Amino acid sequence: MLIQAAKNKSINVYDKKTMDKSACIHPCVHTEGSAVTINGPRFSTRCESFVHKAMGLDIVNMTLVPEVSLAREAGLSYASIAIVTDFDCWKADEEHVCVDMVLEQFRKSIVHVREILLEAVALIGAEDWTKTIEANKVF
């Protein structure tokens, strides 16, 4: 679910067919969760992070909007690959996030992201998405 705080509205952006394909690519695929998108580029303050956690949100990011909303309006299935770079907002004993920490985590994760993308492109190309796109058009 994507929560658009300004409108206090939830939009279901989950697509079972896309998620099932993703799950077979990598074992660390999460099929549920809530994200908040903040203006960036910047890191959340600890206070903001604790507020987001208290709201029941699972991840904080800067990149799902407007892409996810535009994809949904176009009837396109959408999947996001997120690299978790830090847990400083969930764990009081964690060091506060900095750019160097984020870049190091990206460096460690990029091999897995490449593998996921290569397999995903092959799986996506093997499907006829015509009916799915028509069914997705809800606006």
Q: In the chain, what are the domain boundaries?
A: 2-136
If phi over 0 gives left and psi between -120 and 50 gives alpha, with beta otherwise, what is residue 85?
alpha
Please give the pLDDT value at position 23. 57
**Higher per-residue confidence, 108 vs 72:** 108
Average pLDDT over residues 107-124: 84
Confidence of residue 104 (pLDDT cuts 50, 70, 90): very high
Please give the pLDDT value at position 28. 66
Please give the pLDDT value at position 8. 38
pLDDT tops 50 at residue 4: no
Please give the pLDDT value at position 75. 82
**Distance of alpha carbon 132 from alpha carbon 119, whole angstroms:** 20
* Residue type (1 letter), 119: E
Catalytic residues: 86, 88
Confidence of residue 68 (pLDDT cuts 50, 70, 90): confident
Confidence of residue 18 (pLDDT cuts 50, 70, 90): low
pLDDT tops 50 at residue 62: yes
Which residues in 1-139 belong to E strands, given as ranges? 2-4, 9-11, 35-37, 59-61
Distances (CA, A) of 33 to 23, 29, 52: 15, 11, 13
Which tokens hold the place of 106? 């990206």
* Domain spanning 2-136, CATH class: alpha beta
